[in-house]
Amino acid sequence: MARVSQQKRRLYEMCAMAIVAQRADLEGATRVGFDVDLPVFSVGRAAELAGVHPQTLRQYDRSGLVVPQRTEGGARRYSLRDVDRLAQAQTMSQRDGINLTGIARILGLEEENRELRRRITRLSDGSVSVFAADMDGSITEMRRCHRARHWRHQFDPEPRELTAGASYRPVEAQSKSVVLWHTNHR
């Protein structure tokens, strides 16, 4: 895990304070260039920023509610996303009386909702996407780059048609992945 400069750590602390005070959110932090998953904060600092006792962080870690990343030496390090989850969990627990299982479910649904909003935004902007597929069938959306555009023309440009009922037999591949392009989302 790379060390973070003092100046960068201070910027992340200010961002965390704005998130906890609900003057900012994770999407806004991401838009302005913060890596919301960068492990920046120690146990004590994360607890202070989120307004929780350090022992509560350990309890949340044991229950799987907020699991920090670890340094090579085993020290816990918390990210902006973790501090946001800690602050929300503390509020739901103290103000609303929700138990840890309920808090975990609510936070999971909120994260799923954020991810869906990001996908909708990405799909509705009309840009071109590139997808990579593994041999096991996993498909991942990749960022498009000029290099990919350059070498994709090296593939056989002839389209192949499958007639109804025809079986597909893949050609022995030299690579363990395939790249597919989609020209637009419309």
Q: What is the CATH number of the domain that holds 108?
A: 1.10.1660.10
Most distant CA atoms of the chain, gap in Å: 65
Residue 93 lies in a domain: yes
Amino acid 143: pLDDT: 58
How far is CA 83 from each of CA 128, 142, 151, rounded to the nearest angstrom? 34, 28, 42
Place of tokens 């003057």: 23
- Domain limits at 140? 126-156+174-186
Does 116 lie in the same domain as 64?
yes
Specify the pTM. Answer: 0.64
131 — pLDDT class (breaks 50, 70, 90): confident
In this structure, the answer to whether residues 56 and 18 fall within a common structural domain is yes
Whether 17 maps to a domain, the answer reads yes
Q: Is the pLDDT of residue 58 over 60?
A: yes
Residue 167 located in a structural domain: no
* Number of domain units in the chain: 2
**98 neighbors 30 (Cβ within 8 angstroms):** no
Residues 130 and 181 in one domain: yes
Q: What is the pLDDT of residue 168?
A: 46
At residue 54, φ and ψ (nearest 5 deg) are -55, -30
Axis-axis angle for helices 80-94, 54-63 (nearest 10): 100
Residues 116 and 49 in one domain: yes
Q: Are residues 64 and 132 in the same domain?
A: no
In a domain, 163, yes or no: no
The answer to whether residue 182 is domain-embedded is yes
Residue whose entry in the numeric block shows the structure tokens 């060390």: 3
The rounded distance, in Å, linking the Cα atoms of 115 and 113 is 5
